[in-house]
Chains A and B, each alone.
Chain A
């Protein structure tokens, strides 16, 4: 049976598309060697989200959200948090390991940018996990 997409589902698909469109090229195509690129990426995702969400809001007449939407949203946030916490534990473990064996040179100017990218990457993965979990939850039994 064709169920169509609710306002929240359309919004989630748009968010996922925006995230992949902006974060994908940044992490896989560019050299992450500048704070300006990080700032540009943040601005790009904000602008793209505003444009996409405005279009969806304008094209969708029925913008009702209900208890199922809220439940799915909570599940998404739980999955995102678990992903972020797991990555943080893994990242801190790696940091501790490399610091112990002396791989890090903290006087290196690129070290701050490297950490910025690693932690920002964790946030991005957690955010994509949250959105993807919500999209899957709409298609599965709760």
Chain B
């Protein structure tokens, strides 16, 4: 289980937003959004805030930290 998990895929689906649209709005590549959604990459604090703002939720609703997780 990764230390930082996220609900980006679900939140994005609720808003009918594609990975490319989200990537364009926060200024990263679609591959980075894919890596974040698959818990293969933990974004910087700045990118995490941007994701939360674009999805219209708080940071805690978007990202969760599990101290027992790996990494």
Contact = CB atoms under 8 A, between A and B. Distances in A.
Interface of A: 1, 3-9, 62, 64-69, 138, 140-142
B30 A4 contact: yes
B64 interface: no
Interface string B42-62: 111001000000000000000
Contacts of A65: 29
Contact of B28 (A4, A9, A64): A64
Interface in B16-68: 23, 27-32, 34-35, 38-44, 47
A138 B41 contact: no
Contact of A141 (B23, B27, B31, B41): B41
B40 A9 contact: no
Contacts of B28: 64, 66-68
Contacts of A6: 29-31
Given A68-B35, A141-B40, 15 more contacts: A1-B34, A1-B38, A5-B31, A6-B29, A6-B30, A64-B27, A64-B28, A64-B29, A66-B27, A66-B29, A67-B28, A67-B32, A67-B43, A67-B44, A141-B2
Given A67-B43, A140-B40, A62 B29 contact: yes
Contacts of B32: 66-69
A14 B9 CA distance: 32
